Structures are given as structure tokens and as C-alpha cells.
Chain A
Amino acid sequence: MTDAIKLYPSKPQKVYFYGTCLIDLFYPEAGMAGIQLLEREGIEVIFPRDQTCCGQPAYTSGYHDEARSVAAAQLDLFPEGWPIVVPSGSCGGMMRKHYPDLFRGLPQAETANEVASRVWELTDFLLNVCHIKLQDLGQPATVAMHTSCSARREMGVAEVGPKLLKQLSNVTLVEQVRAEECCGFGGTFAVRHPEISGAMVTDKVTSLVEAGAPEFVTTDCGCLMNIAGCAEKSARPLNGQHILSFLWQRVSGSPTDPVEGDSRS
């Protein structure tokens, strides 16, 4: 839970970009969009080459030795004092909230606490540190927003996504019922309890479709994979993408996927 009041830093020259393993493997365009949005704000983005995974899957499964080894390998990636921005509430929450728990009383505790204190969810950083102003170059569109539970409750950024979307003059934001309810992803929960998770995501898809949005955006790739995957499987008229991909498309005026743009360069 977001107990501490957040003290935002002033806008830095540089940031570390922690891409997360889901973005790396499944949604690199969302990561690229985030990087481009940061660069557009005049920030130099450092992408530590040795980053892998924050360790959350093992952590929430109870395998804390394994989570700690993997997390320890991330701790040395951010030697300078720049903020660490993460395009995910879930991985951000792991690093910001759970790293201190994971290393408490151990030799790396000090580093873990220091790293944790520099972790920011990317949309929060864009809005509240960069004070980003978005100029909408896209066609009229209607979207709904699903804020992940960790973005909402661990990172305390529930209001950020809607605020960013409302800056877009051609975008209509609609709200689904029970917007604050979990989509049923929960990492290994979706695999350990497939029926319950399946019921949850089916309900989430229904609420989004009934909200009248052909498209939803979200802060987290776990939710994206879950909700969009369910909509696709059940042939419901609903597409989804990471909010960063969406924002980048709107401000760059390019309907093309930033991945392709990049690979052409």
C-alpha cells in the first residue's frame, strides 16, 4: 500500500530505463515508446545492458532464495544516482516496495534500499516529474483504461493514466464498471488457479466491452496479455495495448508501430 507520501525529484538529465522481462520478450514496442517519450522530454535514457528480470515471479511464488539471486544481479546496474524508471507498476512495485523486504538484514540491504528509493513507474514519472504535455496528432478514438493492481495499490498511480489520456484532445476516455477490480492475472495465480483467474478476466473483458471502448490501454504487460488474450480467444471486439505505445502513437502522429520504425533505422 502506498503509505509514504511521494516526493518527486526534479527533472533529471538522465534516467535508467528498466525494461522488464515481459516487455523485453513480448512488448518491446511499449518499452521503445517509453524511451522515446522520455527522450522527447530531453532526458537521456540509459539502458543497462545486463538487466534481466526484477525477480517477482519467484518472489510471489515463495521461492525467495531464487528471487534474491536474480534481484541481487539487478542491484548493481544503476551505479549513478539517476532515477530508475520502469514501464510497469508490477515490476516497479517489486523493486520499490519488496526489494527492501527481500534484503532486510542482509549485506546488500543498503544498496537495495537506495535502489528502491529511486524507482518510479514510468507514466508517473512522465506526468509528475517531467510534467509532460501531450499534443494529440491522432484520429478521434475511444479508449478505456485498466490500471494494474500494483500500479494502483503499490505504486499509487491510479490517477496518472487517466490524467495523461485526458491531455489527448482527440481521445475519449470511458470508464468500465468495477474499474478497480483485478483482471485476474496475478502472475502464477493465472496458472495455479486457471478457472478462477479465467472467470475474473472474462468479467473484466465484459466490463471493458460494455463500457463501449473498442480499445483499452494498461500500465502493465501482465494485465495486457491476460485481458487482450482473453478478448482474442473469446472473439470479443476489444484490442489492447500498453499505455506507452498508445501515447507515443498519439504524439508522434504515426499510426505505425514504433518497433517497425525503429528496425528501419
Chain B
Amino acid sequence: MNQPTSHSDTPSAENLAAHGAVVQQFHPRARVALENPQIRRNFRNAMDGLMSKRRSAFEGWELETLRELGANIRQRALANLPDLLEQLEKNLTDNGVRVHWANDGDEACRIVRKICVARNAKTVIKGKSMVSEEMELNHYLEEQGIEALESDLGEYIVQLAEETPSHIIMPAIHKNTEEISELLHEKTGTERSHDVNYLTASARQQLREKFMNADVGVSGVNFAVAETGTLCLVENEGNGRMTTTVPACHIAVTGIEKVVGTMEDVTGLLALLTRSATGQHITTYFNMISRPRQFNELDGPEEVHLVLVDNGRSTIYQDDELLATLRCIRCGACMNHCPVYTRVGGHVYGTTYPGPIGSILMPHMLGLEATQHMPTASSLCGACGEVCPVKIPIPDLLVRLRRESVDGDSERPSNVRGHGVKRGHLEAAAWLGWRWMHSQPWLYRLGTSVSARFRKLLPRTMGGWTRYRSAPKLAPKTLHQMMAQRSSSVRPSARMPQSSNVAQRGNLS
């Protein structure tokens, strides 16, 4: 996180100031990103590649049917969420996995610490987990004197650079090989190189030792299967398997929405996840974790824990429309296809989850005060909704959050924390004026014909619009005026001689 944020419901003055800063920094940060050709190129190339890989991966599949299936699986799981969570807890407990519940990120951090302290653990190795980013777990553990090291290559790079992930699947996507080479050289003494294999191998070597010495492994979870009490973890680097099997203690952290009913549910979602995320038919590793090491087994952790984190999710759960947000399986396709994200990258948003999914999720985690820039940072082009493997209507939810930001609907009360934060007197008055003019046809016709008449008086500069474009030009006559003139002269049917082929086809129809 670029800004410290509070997980509590009543942000302190200090946190409010930090929230304000996140919002206010959006435009300056966007400008910096837009003017940085390196950033523009890195994201454009990466996103173009990901889009094309996704397209090929779904070739020959009935994508719409599969998306429908994915949406139904997730929606059904959410409909039974309380029962599934209880079932998951029971089955995991029966298997010997200890289950913990955390209301927010801070509580989840404390749970992880308690487990570490009980084991006298000094070092934690981490697999990739966005929920742990949400919790700001690394920062917290460091403060408690426990070393936390990322083992996913992208996360490792981001951690070395003292940054946060700029993408939920590819955390270091904002960096190119040269930047990574420089960073590894500076922080670890690795020789500078353009050879990706060399850089990867040297990072791998450094991490290998850490795995052997780590006291605790922390991972995320992609799907938690209630029926069997199984934690599924999708990954490519093998670091996830190392994290969950080498240290004597494994702590999995995940959001409460990640639970599904059966293993069969996983198959559909997995097919969608890997193809949507990285354009892979299957990832290199797919881990299924059900229990700690048994007495007759040679490896695996002695202790396995699952921390189920709420952090605003149960609030989303209470709203039938917003609920769709929780279907997300964190594939990142919405980001890869977002023309805004592609141009500015993830850091500009200033939140754990950036891009379209971040813009509909973060307002519930941080409140609208801190995230009011997010729902508007979209042209509502719909590309995100079109590719979402579980059919989250992201554009509709962005509009819903815009409405909440300005308390714009007296028929539908606002629910989201911080609602109304963006409602300004001036803008509200402007929309009232707009409504007045457009709900009275005579006034509209008068107004528009006067505008057309005095079109030369239209200003030639219009703020941000004319920085990049010429000013729009009003026509000398409105369509209304032209049509009025037309009906007062001749009947339309008598005016237009029909072409002969039309007349013939007219007889046929």
C-alpha cells in the first residue's frame, strides 16, 4: 500500500487525511504515468500479450457457456455462503487444519503473529496472496520482528523495490528486464544481465535457501472446497508448493468469499481462471491441501492453519446487487482489457486492488471517502464486463458506486460506507438545471434553438476537453428545427422517391 489505511469503520482524522491524499494523488500520479514512455510501453506490451494469449486459450471453447457456468457456480456458492463456510470449517477441522476467523486485516495479522509466536518463528516465507497485501501483512510482521519474504518472483521483485504489486496476477508487470536486472544487482549483488533465464535462476537460488530455513509458510487460496475441506492453490513457479510443504507450519489466508461447494465446482472455475488470467490451459502447479502431515508421511507441514478474512466482504454480501462483486476469482482479465489501467498501470490507483475489479471492491474495504476517484476512472467501455469469467457486471457496479458517491437516487438509498462524499452543491445544482431543461420539451427546444442561433458565442476552450481536442461545433440548425420545417412543407412520403429495388422489396414484405 502506498498509504497507510485503517480497516476500522470510523477512520481517524489522520487516516482521513491519508484517504484524501490517495484521492488527490490520483490525477498527479496518472499524469506522471502517462508521461513516462517506459511505463506506457511496459503495460501496453504486457496487456496486448495477455489479451492475445487469453483469446487463443479460449479458441474452440464455448466461452459464453463457460462464463455462464462460472457465474452460476460462484453465485450459487455465495447464496449458500454461511452454510458452506461452516461446512468448510468442520471438514478442515476434522482433517486437522485449524480454522481462524478475522473481521478485518488487522485481526488477521494478529492471528498470523500469534501462530508465529507460539512456534517461536522468526522467518516467514510467503507465496503470492492478494489478501495478505490487503492485510499489509509483510509490514506488520516486520514491525513485530518477524522477517517476511516473498517467494513469488514478481512479489519478490516488488518487495526488493519496496513497492506494492501493480497487478493482482503479475505484481511486477510495470518493470522491464532492464529495470529488474538493475534492481537485483543493487539489492542482491546479482550480475547485470538481459538474460531473463539468468535473472530468474539467480533469484531462484536466493529463494531456495530461504525456503529451507523458513519457520512458517504463508500462502493464499484460490478455491476452498467445503465438501472435502480442501484448499486449492493455482501457481506456476512451484514456490506455492514449497511454501506450503517445506516449512513446518503453513498458514493459508483467504477472503471468506473464496469457498465453493464441491470439487466439481473447481473444475469449471479453474478452466476459466487460468485461461482468463494468463492464457494458459493449465498452470504448472495446482496444489490441493487437505491436512497437515500424517504420521506415516515423509513431508508436509506439521501444522496447517486457515485464516478466513472478512474485511468488508460481509457488508457487500448484504446487498443483492453488490453481491456480484464477491464472485471474483481474481484472474485480472478485467485489468488486462481495461484501456484506463493499460495506460496508467496499477500504482496510480493507490489501492491494493487496482483497475476495474479494484474500483468496485476497494470502496467496500476503505469506504468511498478514500476511493471516490475509482468508480469514475472508467469510460464505462464495458471491456471488463465482457471478459469477466464469472460475468460480474462491472460497468453497472461502477455506475452504482457513482450513484452512491453522490447519493443520487432518492428511490434507492445508499448503502456503501462514505456514500454522498462526492456530492457537491455546484454539481448537484448543474444536474438540477439539466433536468429542468430536458424534462420540459418547449424549454429544451427554445434553449437548443437559441444555442444554435448564437453558436458563434460558444467558448473555444472548454477545460480538459480542448486540451486534446478542438471544441465541438454547434450546427446552424437543430434536427428539431429541420424536422419542424420539413413537416410544414411537404409530407415525407411525397418527398423521397423510393428507389426501384425498394419498391419491389416493399411488395415482397
Contact = CB atoms under 8 A, between A and B. Distances in A.
A29 interface: yes
Contacts of A24: 448, 478-480
Given A26-B472, A58-B431, A64 B409 contact: yes
Contacts of A65: 408-411, 435
A214 interface: no
A66 B432 contact: yes
A69 B468 contact: no
A201 B379 contact: no
A200 interface: yes
B483 A60 contact: no
Contacts of B505: 131, 133
B422 to A, nearest CB: 8
B456 interface: no
Interface in A46-65: 47, 49-53, 55, 57-65
A25 B432 CA distance: 20
A58 B422 CA distance: 14
Interface residues of A, number: 88
A152 B379 CA distance: 14
Given A42-B503, A154-B382, A195-B30, A28 B408 contact: no
Nearest to B466: A233
A80 to B, nearest CB: 17
A229 B493 contact: no
Contacts of B477: 28, 259, 263
A32 to B, nearest CB: 6
Contact of A197 (B406, B468, B501, B502): B468
B62 to A, nearest CB: 15
Contacts of B485: 262-263
B492 to A, nearest CB: 6
B339 A182 contact: yes
Centre residue among B31, B403, B466 by max chain A CB count within 10 A: B403
Interface in B477-509: 477-487, 489-490, 492-493, 495-496, 498-499, 501-503, 505-506, 509
A45 B492 contact: yes
A161 interface: no
Contacts of B230: none
B479 A73 contact: no
B196 interface: no
Interface stretch (B201-209, B298-306, B437-445): B437-445
B187 interface: no
Contacts of A57: 434
Q: Which of A11, A25, A42 has the most CB of B within 10 A?
A: A25
Task: Sort chain B's interface into a size bin.
Answer: 35 or more
A202 interface: yes
A70 B439 contact: yes
Contacts of B346: none
B339 A230 contact: no
B496 A49 contact: no
B381 A69 contact: no
B441 A73 contact: yes
Contacts of A201: 468-469
A23 B379 contact: no
A174 interface: no
B102 interface: no
Interface in B19-37: 27, 30-31, 34
B385 A229 contact: no
Contacts of A135: 499, 501
B237 interface: no
A72 B474 CA distance: 26
Interface string A29-46: 101100110011110110
Contacts of A262: 482, 485-486
Contact of B376 (A26, A39, A192): A192
A52 B439 contact: yes
B434 to A, nearest CB: 6
A194 interface: yes
Contact of A1 (B30, B344, B386, B493): B386
B381 A186 contact: yes
Contacts of B502: 40-42
Given A61-B431, A193-B377, A233-B468, A26 B473 contact: yes
Best-buried of A21, A24, A26 by chain B (most CB within 10 Å): A24
Interface string B343-374: 11000000000000000000000000000000
Secondary structure call for the A interface: helix
A186 B378 contact: yes
A226 B409 contact: no
B474 A47 contact: no
Contact of B435 (A1, A28, A70, A105): A70
A186 B403 contact: no
B391 to A, nearest CB: 8
Contacts of A106: 411
B475 A182 contact: no
Given A19-B479, A189-B379, A133 B408 contact: no
A185 interface: yes
Contact of A200 (B379, B403, B490, B495): B379
B464 interface: yes
B425 interface: no
Contact of A153 (B382, B432, B495): B382
A232 B469 contact: yes
Contacts of B382: 1, 149-150, 152-154
Contacts of B498: 39-40, 42
29 contacts: A19-B479, A23-B479, A32-B482, A35-B492, A40-B499, A40-B502, A42-B498, A45-B492, A50-B441, A55-B438, A58-B434, A58-B435, A61-B406, A63-B403, A63-B406, A65-B435, A66-B434, A66-B435, A69-B439, A106-B411, A135-B499, A193-B30, A196-B340, A197-B468, A225-B472, A230-B469, A232-B470, A262-B482, A262-B486
Given A28-B477, A149-B382, 17 more contacts: A23-B479, A25-B451, A26-B473, A52-B439, A57-B434, A58-B435, A61-B431, A63-B428, A64-B411, A68-B409, A69-B435, A70-B438, A73-B438, A149-B379, A193-B30, A198-B464, A259-B476
Interface of A: 1, 10-11, 19, 21, 23-29, 31-32, 35-36, 39-42, 44-45, 47, 49-53, 55, 57-66, 68-70, 72-73, 101, 105-106, 131, 133, 135, 149-150, 152-154, 180-182, 184-202, 225-226, 229-230, 232-234, 259, 262-263, 265
Interface of B: 27, 30-31, 34, 339-340, 343-344, 376-383, 385-386, 391, 393, 396, 399, 402-406, 408-412, 422, 428, 431-432, 434-435, 437-441, 444, 448, 451-452, 463-487, 489-490, 492-493, 495-496, 498-499, 501-503, 505-506, 509
Closest 3 CB pairs of A and B: A194-B464, A186-B379, A229-B469
